[in-house]
Amino acid sequence: MELLFKRAQTSGKFGRVAFKLWAKLEPDEDEQALISRYRFDEKILIEADQPELLGTSRLVAVGAGIVTYLLAGTIVPGSVALLFALVGGAGVGYWYYHNNRETIFVRDLLHGRYFSCGSVIDLAKREAWLNTLASFLRQVMESAKYWDGTERHTIEPLPKEEARQVIIQGI
């Protein structure tokens, strides 16, 4: 499996430089067979809880819907303009959400995905993070080959103080 990165920089808001990172996983034939067999492409690689993104996406959708309604209302009848507004607002809200979500599906990396980075440091951190995620996925895929069968694990008792700390800290 290979992890490809493409880096780009563009003029951002207010003259600041914006950095973009494109990442893509390229599995070999055996790895692609494992991905297909176990449907890894449908799985979430890393899940991020972003309640504020959902709210912002709704606001963007409503704003786009209003603008679409006002523009379409000058050309077509009100009911058609309302339909355009609903479809346009929903489309823009969907696009905004998926462009800014931190949750990464395996299929995102199999098809390639762009990530926005605020600085070169953020870009380097994102590359390292994606490399770790790809390594994790690769190891899970490798272990999938051996999921059949039974495995025995012997759990040894800990010394009294160490056991107490484990109980206090929890899992």
Phi, psi of 10 (to 5 degrees): -135, 170
Domain regions of the chain by residue span:
1-47+103-148, 49-101
* Residue 11: band (very low, low, confident or very high) from pLDDT cuts 50, 70, 90: confident
For residue 24, with 0-12 CB atoms within 10 Å meaning exposed, 13-18 middle and 19 or more buried, which class applies? middle
Mean pLDDT, range 50-79, rounded to an integer = 89
Per-residue DSSP letters for 20-69? EEEEEEE--HHHHHHHHHHTGGGSEEE----HHHHHHHHHHHHHHHHHHH
Q: How many other CB atoms sit within 10 Å of the CB of residue 85?
A: 21
In whole angstroms, give the CA distance from residue 42 to residue 38: 9
pLDDT value of position 12:
62
Predicted pLDDT of residue 13: 65
Contacts of 14 (CB under 8 A, 6+ apart): none
Q: What is the pTM of this model?
A: 0.66
- Can you name the residues that pair with 26 across neighbouring β-strands? 2
pLDDT digits (tens, 9 = 90+) for 83-127: 999 999 999 999 898 888 888 899 999 999 998 888 889 999 999
Higher pLDDT, 127 or 46: 127
Q: What is the pLDDT of residues 126-169, one digit of tens each?
A: 999 999 999 999 999 888 888 777 778 898 999 999 999 889 98
* Confidence at residue 59, expressed as pLDDT on a 0 to 100 scale: 93
